[in-house]
């Protein structure tokens, strides 16, 4: 084989292995060093070693174990030559003097679940800003490069790099312990983790800016993280509920985009294109959450709403009255004008556009929705259905001026033009 082709194959293999194994490696190293920033640096050094050696020697039979071995050797060198705590130095040195040969296959498995959970809770610690938590999570848990993260969120790469550096520094300065929280602290910390995972998913499901309507890779990363957390926290109903919500929403990804990348709204989607495997997995995860009992949390209520859509074979069969009720319950649990806007849509579908418009009009004075493009978008839709096309066109144009997503802007402007010469939508 041509040397350049061999090099390319090796690099592709390294990239794939890194995506799969990096979180385990960083997590294991963080347990050893008690320093997430240092752990990631050591893991990156192991990756560089692989990039240097594998193109010539070939990909090892157990690449994950090889990377863990290389990373642990780097850690040992760091402890030997650095100014680390003497007890740690003696502990590792004793193992080497006694002829200790690490079982790196076991090292990848022993306590790896606990280590991953510790890493997730550390990366999503509330001492960090939401943006920093998202960037650090994608970096440490999903193995994304700063360039990939910057492209995913349409933020300059230096900004992402600074967020990650500052996040590591903040964790170190705050002396955040590498551990899974217990007792009363667990609920708040778990909520922080789930918030970050759903933030990543939503940015993939409905991109806030850029040329693409959806970014499936981000949805996949969030789903993978959610499944990991659910596997490690089997008794937490809200974790299963979040996984259910993401599975059910992800089932519609292919149907949300047309042949040219244009958005296709829920009621106009070809439901035959919905991924039934994801639907079944989502409904099963929701059933697990329900069986665990307790008062429904926000993700369980949102998953129940998504399940209403998933169970409807056609748009006309959707139980909009139940969805409106679930949004009302969600609004009582976590009051939000965005939830009220979603409830207004459900009410309009269940009881007519006039009933929905009344609720939407009550939200127009909300300060937090001043720049929220979906408010005029929903209002325009309801006005159009009521035959008030001139007002609807103005609302669609306003919504188009507020969105940062090019595909969504094009859709809204198309709807504005349709108000000028077309019949009202049913």
Q: What pLDDT, on a 0 to 100 scale, did the predictor assign at position 102? A: 41
Of residues 283 and 146, more confidence is placed in 283
pLDDT band at 8 (very low <50, low <70, confident <90, very high): low
Low-confidence winner among 143-157, 168-182, 335-349 (lowest mean pLDDT): 143-157
User: Which residues, 6 or more positions from 168, have their beta carbon under 8 angstroms from its beta carbon?
Assistant: 36, 37, 40, 136
Q: Is residue 265 over pLDDT 70?
A: yes
Of residues 112, 4, 21, the one with CA closest to residue 70: 21
Q: What pLDDT, in 10s, does the model give residues 340-388?
A: 999 999 999 999 999 999 999 999 999 999 999 999 999 999 999 999 9
Q: What pLDDT, in 10s, does the model give residues 35-90?
A: 888 888 888 888 888 888 888 888 888 888 888 888 888 888 777 766 555 555 55
End-to-end Cα separation, the chain, in angstroms: 62
Task: Report percent pLDDT > 90 for the chain.
Answer: 51
Location of structure tokens 């009621």 = 267
Q: What pLDDT, on a 0 to 100 scale, did the predictor assign at position 272? A: 95
Task: Label residue 294 left, alpha or beta by phi (over 0 means left) and psi (-120 to 50 means alpha).
Answer: left
Q: What pLDDT, on a 0 to 100 scale, did the predictor assign at position 62? A: 85
Q: What pLDDT, on a 0 to 100 scale, did the predictor assign at position 70? A: 86
């Amino acid at each position: 084989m041509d040397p350049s082709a061999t090099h390319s194959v090796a690099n592709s293999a390294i990239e794939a292995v890194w995506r799969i194994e990096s979180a385990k490696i960083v997590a294991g190293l963080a347990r050893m060093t008690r320093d997430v920033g240092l752990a990631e640096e050591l893991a990156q050094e192991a990756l560089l070693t692989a990039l240097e050696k594998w193109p010539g020697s070939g990909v090892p039979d157990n690449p994950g174990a090889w990377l863990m071995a290389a990373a642990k050797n780097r850690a040992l060198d760091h402890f030997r030559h650095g100014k680390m705590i003497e007890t740690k130095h003696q502990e590792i040195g004793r193992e080497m003097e006694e002829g200790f040969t690490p079982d790196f296959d076991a090292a990848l498995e022993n306590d790896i679940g606990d280590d991953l959970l510790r890493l997730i809770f550390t990366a999503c610690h509330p001492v960090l800003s939401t943006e920093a938590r998202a960037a650090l999570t994608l970096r440490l848990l999903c193995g994304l490069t700063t360039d990939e993260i910057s492209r995913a969120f349409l933020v300059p790469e230096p900004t992402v790099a600074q967020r990650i550096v500052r996040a590591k520094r903040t964790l170190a300065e705050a002396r955040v312990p590498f551990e899974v929280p217990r007792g009363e602290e667990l609920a708040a910390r778990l909520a922080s983790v789930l918030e970050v995972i759903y933030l990543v998913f939503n940015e993939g499901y409905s991109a806030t800016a850029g040329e693409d309507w959806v970014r499936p890779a981000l949805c996949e990363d969030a789903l993978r993280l959610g499944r990991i957390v659910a596997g490690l926290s089997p008794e937490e109903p809200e974790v299963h509920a979040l996984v259910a919500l993401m599975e059910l929403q992800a089932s519609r990804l292919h149907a949300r985009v047309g042949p040219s990348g244009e958005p296709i709204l829920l009621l106009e989607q070809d439901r035959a294109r919905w991924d039934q495997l994801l639907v079944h997995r989502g409904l099963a995860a929701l059933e697990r959450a329900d069986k665990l009992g307790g008062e429904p949390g926000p993700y369980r209520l949102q998953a129940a709403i998504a399940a209403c859509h998933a169970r409807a074979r056609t748009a006309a069969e959707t139980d909009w009255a139940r969805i409106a009720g679930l949004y009302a319950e969600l609004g009582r649990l976590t009051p939000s004008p965005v939830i009220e806007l979603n409830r207004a849509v459900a009410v309009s579908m269940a009881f007519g556009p006039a009933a929905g418009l009344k609720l939407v009009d009550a939200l127009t004075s909300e300060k937090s929705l001043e720049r929220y493009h979906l408010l005029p978008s929903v209002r325009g839709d309801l006005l159009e259905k009521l035959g008030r096309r001139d007002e609807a066109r103005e609302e669609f144009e306003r919504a188009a001026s507020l969105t940062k997503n090019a595909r969504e802007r094009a859709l809204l402007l198309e709807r504005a033009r349709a108000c000028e010469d077309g019949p009202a939508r049913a």
